[in-house]
Every structure is written in C-alpha cells, then in structure tokens.
Chain A
Amino acid sequence: MRSFINPFLAVILAGLLAACSSTPTEEDTSSTDTMGQNTQTTPTTPVERPKPSKPETSSIPLTAENFHNHPSNYDGTTDTRVIYFAFDSNTVPAAAFETLRAHAKYLKENPNAKLRLEGHADERGTREYNVALSERRSEAVQKFLRVQGVSSSQIETVAYGEEKPAAFGHTEMDWAKNRRVVLNYTAGRP
C-alpha cells in the first residue's frame, strides 16, 4: 500500500489515525488507547489498565522487514527515543504511535522542553539524497507530534542522512536499525 500513497497523504493519514486512535493495522499488538475512545485489545480489563510496558512480543520474530514496526522497539513511554522506518518509507510505524503520544503529552505538559528530531537513512543510495529522505522521516514524526497538539516552537528537525549510522554492518538488519528518527531532548529532558 505504501508505494501507492503520496507520502504527504500517508503522513496525514497517519496523523488522522493517531488522532482518532483507531486500531492500527499490521502486526501491532500494543494497546493503542490514550484518549479513551477506542476498544481495548484485551476486553477483560476495561478499567484497570496496565501501565505501558513492553507488550508480549516473543511470538513475533524480529526481522529486518518488521523491525520498524516491531512492538519490542517501543515501550509506549518517553523512554523510547528511536522510531524506525521501513525501507524507502517515511511513514510513522503504527507500533510507535503510543510512544509518540507519550512524548506529545510530555511536551504539552512541559512547554520548556525542546525536542530535536534527528532523521537518518541507511547507507544505500547517494548521500545528499539520503539526507533529503531522512529529513522526510524527521518531518513525519514532527507532523505526528504537531497533530497531537505540540507547539512547533518545541520541535526542531535535523537530517543526517547516512552519515551517523547506529549499526555499522552492511546487512538488512543493520540497515533496518539505521532507518530511524532519534528523539533528542535538547532541553527539559524527561
């Protein structure tokens, strides 16, 4: 589906999804509710919600293909500081929605906090083009946070392309770890 959607439309859709808190598709197993509007994935505990924690993920093998959307990468709190992206994509993964909402909540409650969104690409392709691709990723995260009501004055973006890899190997999994946006608090770190 990715390839047919205008990236901007995709970002808007992602934002709408987030705003409406509808249940994300794909292999997302995490609870998605922060606004009390959607259905629980575990209907037996409608009132006493568990604290956001790492979901049960052992049943889902971690692969380079699902890495960006794998629940084990996102704990739903501001402790998660890295959002991963699929190959050639700047769509915010559904599994990261709850984490980003937690950051949005924190930023709104702490107007002095400032967040730098550092976009990165994997090493494939040319360097300046990758800078541009990585900027689209940091902007996608920025738009998500803005839709949540975060002030633009609290967010800045920077695009590093492939220049600052997190993983230095050359496998699909290394590339999956490098296609990312790092949430770097430059002030008011939670």
Chain B
Amino acid sequence: MMRIINVRSVARAAAVMALTMLALGARAELMIQITEGRVDAVPIAVVPFAGAADAPENISDIVRADLHRSGQFKTLEPGDMLSRPTSADQLSFRDFRVLNQEYVVVGSMQKTDSGAYEVRYGLYDVAREKQLITESYRPPASQLRDVAHAISDRIYEELTGIQGAFSTKILYVTFNRGAENPYQLQYADADGARVRTIVRSREPVMSPSWSPDGSKIAYVSFEKDGLPKIYVHDLASAQRRVVAQYKGINGAPAWSPDGQRLAVTLSKGGNPDIYSLDLNSGALEQLTDHYGIDTEPRWMPDGEHLVFTSSRSGGPQIYELDVNSKSTRRVSFEGAYNARPDVTPDGRYLVYVHRRNGSFNVGVQDLQRGTFDIVTKTDMDESPSVAPNGSMIIYGTQYRGTGVLQAVSIDGRVKVELPSKEGEVREPAWSPFL
C-alpha cells in the first residue's frame, strides 16, 4: 500500500530540517514546527494559488504547511520556484523537474458573486507529466480552512496510500498559572488553528477523550467542590452531563469503539479499579478487581479488550484485559515503569510512557513482532495519543520548564513541535476522522 519512495532525495535532504515557523491566525495559541523530518521526504511544490493572497484564508499556504508538517513531504518555498503557474495550461513541468520536484500542485481561488469561493486545483506527477487529481470546491469564506485541509488529505492519500488526518482536531488542556481560571479544556485544528475553549475552571481539568464519532468528549473536572467528576460533553450543543461522581477517584474516561460505553477508573471499592459505564442505562460493570492500582484504560479496536496501567506486579506496567472473561495478561516487560497506553487504529502498536534512566519517553510496542522502541528524545513525556490514520503520535512534554505538545511519527523518524504562546499545554487527544 505504501508508495515506494524515490531514493534520489536522500542525498539532498538533511536529517534535521530548518525550523520553519508557521504563523497562525490571531486566535491560535499553538504554533507548529518540524524539528526532524524523514531523509527520504518526497519533494513537492505547492504553487501559490491565484487569488489566495487576497482571500481570508490562504489555501495554498495551508496545504503546503500541512504536507510539510506531516514529515512525509519536503515542500518547496515559493521564492525558490522558477515559475508560478496557477492552472494546468500554464504549467511547465521542466521548471519543476530541474528543481528535482516529484509533484506539483497548482490552483486558484476566486470569490463568486454569492460570496462563496470557487476553489480549483490539480496535482501533477512531474516525471510522468501526468495529472493525478483535479477537483473544485465552492465553500463559503468560513469553510476555506476546511477545504484546505480536505485538499491536503486528498493529496496525502493519493501519494502515500494512507488516509490524511489534516481535517482532524486536537483536544488538550491548558494551564495558565495565576489566571482566574488557570485550567482550560480546548480544541483546535490539527495544525493548531481555530482554537475553541470548552471548559474554563479554577480547579483541575484532565483526561479528555473523544467519542468515536467525534461529536462528544468525556473528561474529568474538579470544578465543583474540588472533587472529581466525569463529564460527557456534546461539542455542537455545548450540553453536558455528569456520568460519574462516586466517592474517591472518578478518572481516566475512555470511549468504547461503539460509542456506547466509557471505561473509567473508580476507587469507590477501596482502590482504583477499571469499570465499564453504559452511557445509555448508566449501568456500571466492574472489570478489574485487584488491590493494586488499575487505571488509564484504552479500548482495543475490537471493543472486546482493554489495555491499562496496573501496579499489580509492583511498579506500573501495561496489561491487557478481556472484557468478556475479565482475564488479564501482562503486555509490557521492558523496564520498571510503563504507563498510559494508547493503541493504533489497526491494533498493531501500543504507545505508552516508558521510564529509562529517570527519563520519561514515549515508546512504541509492535504487538505483531514483539519489538519495543523509544521514539522520543524529549524528557517528561506523557499522554501519547495516536492520529486516526496511525501515522503520528501527539504527546505532552516539557520544553524549558513549560508543558508543550510534540508529535512524532510511529517510526520515530519525524518530529514536530507545537510550542504554546502562553502557559502550559498538555494531555493532547487526537480526534477520530471527522
């Protein structure tokens, strides 16, 4: 399925790409930069679209940034282009071939009388001088960013065989010390733009989780009386309800693949165990019963197994639970601290936090081959969350003493920073395909 990547680019590309700052809109709090890209990233030229500079959102800039941020592509700066065609008939393949570009994207966006925009673009194979995609859209101005991400998704899938995840969202918690409401739950586009605040609180908010259809989220908030409650929150209507407020811990909600249940951690039985909460009936089923700590559940894609963190062998390790038989088996064996698992959509890889020499890093365990690899070079990593196409892991870490988000590809070859302009950002949760 994966396209064979042309090896011509290997010699040219540096392992560490130049830090390319991507300035975002005034509302954005996240900025994104690639710190490490693939040496075999595919060269692609996204030529500035006709009319893009005058539109409220510059679609060609957004597409170029999306592809660059994926780490799979090495994008050509417009200033380095020999010509800037905006339609197929203006395109001279030679101008891009001499710059060793493998693909070129040309297009235009024009405001229509109705106020909507007419967006047209084409993707071309430079070596074969062949058109691969041509599409047009008619979005209102408010949906220009959505169209840009949809174009990125289409191009990404055409060239890699993998569904693009540029139209997804990231949910995360921010902390601004000293603010009236230091804890906020927010979400943004996967590129950090269009930040929306869901909850503002004086008390902690933590452990956000998406419903599988992306319409709802669950999280833990201590906003009432300083005690933890689990909320289910509908994003479109902003309606929410408390689904767990037992004595002790109400934590770590994780939505089942069918959207009907939440796996949660409750300590009402005397110590933290994992329960399944039926969201329709409110019925609670205890899934683990051990005097050790059981927490941080994540559903496997089959909906019949959970992975979770347990201290039953001493320190925290990853265990798998059969929801029907309630039997458990230990999954992680490397080192003395493995916690907070997430799983790729195909169920093949577990990603979790691993402690080694006092440093906390994100590790990837291949359940098929049995291998385990550390994929980050940062320290104090936590809360890894896998993109819905399985390509990237977003996680929280510290940079210069403050909480930031970073992303890394499953193979560890691409690293992306998402520094915050103000305060701490943590606990990212990557949305499903929306």
Contact = CB atoms under 8 A, between A and B. Distances in A.
Do these two chains interact? yes
Interface of A: 8, 116, 118, 123-129, 131-133, 135-136, 157-161, 163-164, 168-170
11 contacts: A126-B382, A126-B383, A128-B252, A128-B295, A128-B296, A129-B293, A129-B340, A131-B251, A132-B249, A132-B295, A159-B267
Contacts of A133: 293
Nearest to B265: A128
B12 interface: no
Nearest to B204: A163
B207 A132 contact: no
A135 B252 CA distance: 14
Contacts of B383: 126-127
A116 B248 CA distance: 12
Interface in B219-250: 222, 226-228, 248-249
Contacts of A161: 206
Given A126-B383, A133-B293, A158 B227 contact: yes
Contacts of A160: 204, 222
Contacts of A164: 204
B222 A157 contact: no
Given A163-B204, A163-B206, A170-B401, A129 B339 contact: yes
Contacts of B251: 128, 131-132
B380 interface: yes
Nearest to B252: A128
Contacts of B204: 160, 163-164
Interface of B: 177, 183, 204, 206-207, 222, 226-228, 248-249, 251-252, 265, 267, 272, 291, 293, 295-296, 309, 311, 316, 337, 339-340, 353, 355, 360, 380, 382-383, 398, 401, 427
A132 to B, nearest CB: 4
A152 to B, nearest CB: 11
A35 B222 CA distance: 39
Nearest to B396: A127
Nearest to A123: B380
A158 B226 contact: yes
A6 to B, nearest CB: 9
B335 to A, nearest CB: 13
A170 B249 contact: no
A185 to B, nearest CB: 13
A135 B382 contact: no
B351 to A, nearest CB: 12
Given A133-B293, A136-B293, 14 more contacts: A8-B291, A123-B380, A125-B353, A126-B340, A127-B207, A127-B382, A127-B427, A128-B252, A128-B340, A129-B309, A131-B295, A132-B293, A159-B228, A168-B177
Nearest to B358: A124
A129 B296 contact: yes
B401 A124 contact: no
